[in-house]
Structure 1
Amino acid sequence: MSHMHYDTLISARWIITVEQDGEVLENHAIAIKDGRIAQILPSAQCASLQAAERIDLGSHVLMPGLINLHGHSAMTLLRGLADDKALMDWLNNHIWPAEGKHVRDDFVFDGASLAMAEMIRGGTTTINDMYFYHDAMARAGLASGMRTFVGCSILEFPTNYGSNAGEYISKGMEERKAFLGEELITFTLAPHAPYTVSDSTFRQVVELAEREDMLIHCHIHETADEVAGSVTEHQQRPLARLAKLGLLSPRLIAAHMVHLDSAEIEAAARHGISIAHNPASNMKLASGIAPVPALLAAGVNVGIGTDGAASNNKLDMLSETRLAALLAKVGTLDPTAVPAATAIRMATLNGAKALGIADKVGSVKVGKQADLIAIDLSALETAPAFDPVSHVVYAAGREQVSHVWVKGRALLAQRQLTTLDEAALKARGEDWRNRILAR
């Protein structure tokens, strides 16, 4: 293979492959060609390889990029606007009114761009989003270079973007057309939640998803109130209602899924749905602790998301992964629940599976696309480093992410953003702050 000319050759102290839980290659290198992982080999064997660019990360972990399985990127412009409130109070009296005044194309583009800068600096390479003004979201994704899943929100009531479910669907599908050839942009159908979407709309979403081969992204069983309200209104729990409507399938990414009984866990496994677990948001909004260990034990695919910056308030997948491991332990009083290697798989390969891209990304494997991140463990805060898997989950912080690549393209190099202008994003953020405060 030495005759081949590679684009990039990255050697690292450790590579966490996520191909098998806990697999670590020491002093190995990854050769990248045309955006793909072409070779994985011991660093000692790299001298003879030809590469346009050589990067030596002698104190770093190299691993798959983190996959944020549930977010509302544009809401970064509302970060910290209304804290320490109950979910329905927060939505009805604070978030929805602010969105009603301000949400439009430029709000979404600027908010999403700010979010993407934060996510890239934290080692996130893929975002599964859900919001409005999808053209703006997709353009922000293209500009940042992140792998972007654009969720087209669907609800029954009017917002700035649309007046009813039919309009949300038709507008989203129309905006999707311009991006059908873009490999890093994928549109999904995002019926908001069981309490905001009717039976007939859910049926329409399922039919459209089948016809167009699209994913479905929905908030489900987030709070106890949601479950109780469904029993009152529909005489059944939300998941049972959605099952009857045909929503439960491997196409579905169910965000939250906090309040579940054993039959619902079994149903999630049987139908092959994926779950986006949002530990920080669930804690902050006092929604509860999702039964992640029971879901994993049942064979359910569980990934990790940050939710929006308005209810977290960080888009920090490393800290979210740590919380996922810790919350599982204290929630079950079992210190062996969700060990570090499992948490890393949840944040990478499980997310890729949920999004139907596990053949492309989510682990370090020859032939997969080079969505990679490097975390520098030479910091005082991560000394000494016995086990890089443990350190990534329990000790390292997002400020130690040094490099980020998506499809072999560097989005972050030595902590510097390469596709986005940090100063300009901060200025736009300040501009929006002033506009929102002037309301």
Structure 2
Amino acid sequence: MTDAARFVVHARWVIPVEPAGRVLHHHAVVVEDGRIVAVLPDAAAREQFADWPQVERPYHALIPGLVNAHTHAAMTLLRGLADDLPLMPWLQQHIWPAEQRFVGREFVRDGTALAIAEMLRAGITCFADMYFFGEDTAEAAAAAGMRAVVGLIAIDFPTAYATDADDYLRRGLALRDAWRGHPLIRTAFAPHAPYTVSDAPLKHIAVLAEELDLPVHIHLHETAHEVTESESRHGVRPLERLAGLGLLTPHLVGVHATQLLPGEIASLAAAGASIVHCPESNMKLASGTCPLPALLAAGVNVAIGSDGAASNNDLDVLGELKTAGLLAKLATGDAAVAPAPLLLRMATLGGAKAFGLDDDIGSLVPGKAADLVAVDLSAPHCQPVHDPISQLIYAAGRDAVSDVWVAGRQLLKDRQLATLDLDTILARAADWGARIAAADHSDA
């Protein structure tokens, strides 16, 4: 286990992400006190750092930790509940009733622990979450040694977490203060969606985001119904409404974005806003297709997200990248669109940039945090390796992830979790599953 303050990881391929598309053959990443101090050829690393612990990964690609830029982590406990339904019946008849009945601190702790176990085994080292009881999400992530951007949730209606928009913001700001300065935990405002948050709290969030320099993580243009409802209620489309409230800024992180007009894409680019693409959730709920090629062509920063396991049904960023690439090719009729290096950037530097973390994570550059993932490309389905970046996206899959480090601490070694009690997590998940299923069936 490489919990030492200094060590060297040798890999067949090192893929730094910066500059784009570069592949370093037979290289090593040198780590000291949780940060990358050098990326250099094997022979030079062995000579210069001969007395440091050496980690050998001779059949592996070493990449930056993946960033899952949109999750509802605790909703792993609702995985598979009421599948194959449209968004609003799924939410209104199944998900929201289950949340009203079960969501509390224990639910969030257990569901988030399950999500973290799944994500670490998939090479995800940072996740941006939007859910209730963010205090418990932060505690679960910090205890596991994982990086997280915890959402300061805001919504108009009461839940077990808060009574109204002002109460959500009060609790959110207290959460932000409690975790301020933590090396692994950041926060972002997380108003749920334009259709669930009214003008006054959105205006307040816009002011606070500027004052505190925090991202604003929000579902945006997720469905055609959302857009037509906004036009009916407010006289404008959701993005135009957010712009009028002061939210169309570099802090904006809009999620889904399946219903965008060319002018709206141009506005996002001009504002320096980011979009989180969640292709598999969008497809499963038949919400629409995010115009990825047009966003990229306009210069919009695009990240990748899994969404919650209740609507996906997994937290697998490598899988999302493959789907995103294939969907973009199909939608445009252009097989050259969204090449593999660009997709990998979305899941690393793109996610980091969306949440203001790109100075610290997202690429293998000296000075950045040592968030590293080793992916084993020795299996038959990955051979031969003509292009390791393409193999990562189109062939390897999350099961090929063998090792994960966050800030130099090894959280996964030879596919075994180092900081989590997986047996206990699975037992708790099974108990929750039985209780939730029984309640859902009784309501049917």
Sort the TM-score into its range (normalised by shorter chain): over 0.9
Contact 1:217–1:254 under 8 Å retained in 2: yes
Contact 1:127–1:148 under 8 Å retained in 2: yes
Aligned partner letter, 2:303: G
Secondary structure of the structure 2 residue equivalent to 1:40: strand
Aligned partner letter, 1:25: L
Aligned to 1:18: 17
1:325 is aligned to 2:325: yes
Secondary structure of the structure 2 residue equivalent to 1:92: helix
Counterparts in 2 of 1:155-194, with a 5 A limit?
Answer: 155-194=155-194
1:8 is aligned to 2:27: no
Q: CA deviation at 1:290?
A: 0.5
Counterparts in 2 of 1:18-167, with a 5 A limit?
Answer: 18-48=17-47, 49-167=49-167
1:78-133 per-residue CA deviation (whole Å, 9 max, x = no partner) reads 00011000100011000000000000001001101100110000000010000010
In structure 2, C-alpha distance between the alignment counterparts of 1:289 and 1:321, rounded to whole Å? 14
1:123-164 per-residue CA deviation (whole Å, 9 max, x = no partner) reads 000100000101100001101111111102111111111111
Contact 1:280–1:320 under 8 Å retained in 2: yes
Secondary structure of the structure 2 residue equivalent to 1:46: helix
Q: CA deviation at 1:31?
A: 0.7
Aligned to 2:421: 421
In structure 1, C-alpha distance between the alignment counterparts of 2:331 and 2:342, rounded to whole Å? 16
Q: CA deviation at 1:52?
A: 4.2
Secondary structure of the structure 2 residue equivalent to 1:395: helix
Q: CA deviation at 1:437?
A: 2.7
Q: CA deviation at 1:181?
A: 2.6
Aligned to 1:284: 284
Secondary structure of the structure 1 residue equivalent to 2:46: coil
Q: TM-score, normalised by structure 2?
A: 0.96
1:159-185 per-residue CA deviation (whole Å, 9 max, x = no partner) reads 111111111111111223221131211
Aligned to 2:442: none
In structure 2, C-alpha distance between the alignment counterparts of 1:52 and 1:366, rounded to whole Å? 17
Contact 2:14–2:23 under 8 Å retained in 1: yes
Aligned partner letter, 1:105: R
Q: CA deviation at 1:207?
A: 1.1
In structure 2, C-alpha distance between the alignment counterparts of 1:203 and 1:178, rounded to whole Å? 24
In structure 1, C-alpha distance between the alignment counterparts of 2:170 and 2:5, rounded to whole Å? 44
Contact 2:5–2:34 under 8 Å retained in 1: no
In structure 1, C-alpha distance between the alignment counterparts of 2:209 and 2:40, rounded to whole Å? 41
In structure 1, C-alpha distance between the alignment counterparts of 2:141 and 2:149, rounded to whole Å? 9
1:244 is aligned to 2:217: no
Contact 1:105–1:133 under 8 Å retained in 2: yes
In structure 1, C-alpha distance between the alignment counterparts of 2:411 and 2:248, rounded to whole Å? 36
Q: CA deviation at 1:41?
A: 1.0
- 1:108–1:203 Cα change, 3 Å: same
In structure 2, C-alpha distance between the alignment counterparts of 1:273 and 1:384, rounded to whole Å? 39
Contact 1:7–1:51 under 8 Å retained in 2: no
Aligned partner letter, 2:24: L
1:379-403 per-residue CA deviation (whole Å, 9 max, x = no partner) reads 1110111110110010011110000
Q: CA deviation at 1:50?
A: 3.8
Q: TM-score, normalised by structure 1?
A: 0.98
Aligned partner letter, 1:15: V
Contact 1:6–1:31 under 8 Å retained in 2: no
In structure 2, C-alpha distance between the alignment counterparts of 1:322 and 1:53, rounded to whole Å? 35
Figure out how many residues of one structure are paired with residues of the other and give that number.
Answer: 435
In structure 2, C-alpha distance between the alignment counterparts of 1:13 and 1:39, rounded to whole Å? 16
Secondary structure of the structure 1 residue equivalent to 2:222: coil
- 1:51–1:72 Cα change, 3 Å: farther
In structure 2, C-alpha distance between the alignment counterparts of 1:276 and 1:34, rounded to whole Å? 32
In structure 2, C-alpha distance between the alignment counterparts of 1:16 and 1:46, rounded to whole Å? 17
Aligned to 1:272: 272
Aligned partner letter, 1:386: H
Secondary structure of the structure 1 residue equivalent to 2:402: strand
In structure 2, C-alpha distance between the alignment counterparts of 1:269 and 1:203, rounded to whole Å? 21
Aligned to 2:410: 410
In structure 2, C-alpha distance between the alignment counterparts of 1:71 and 1:267, rounded to whole Å? 25
Secondary structure of the structure 2 residue equivalent to 1:47: helix
Q: Give aligned-pair identity as a percent.
A: 52
Q: Which runs of 5+ in 2 are unaligned?
A: 440-444
Q: CA deviation at 1:47?
A: 2.6
Aligned partner letter, 1:9: V
Q: CA deviation at 1:46?
A: 2.6
Aligned partner letter, 1:255: V
Contact 2:127–2:147 under 8 Å retained in 1: yes
Q: CA deviation at 1:51?
A: 4.7
Aligned to 1:221: 221
Question: Aligned Cα RMSD in Å?
Answer: 1.1
Aligned to 1:199: 199
Contact 1:6–1:52 under 8 Å retained in 2: no
In structure 2, C-alpha distance between the alignment counterparts of 1:50 and 1:430, rounded to whole Å? 47
In structure 1, C-alpha distance between the alignment counterparts of 2:183 and 2:65, rounded to whole Å? 17
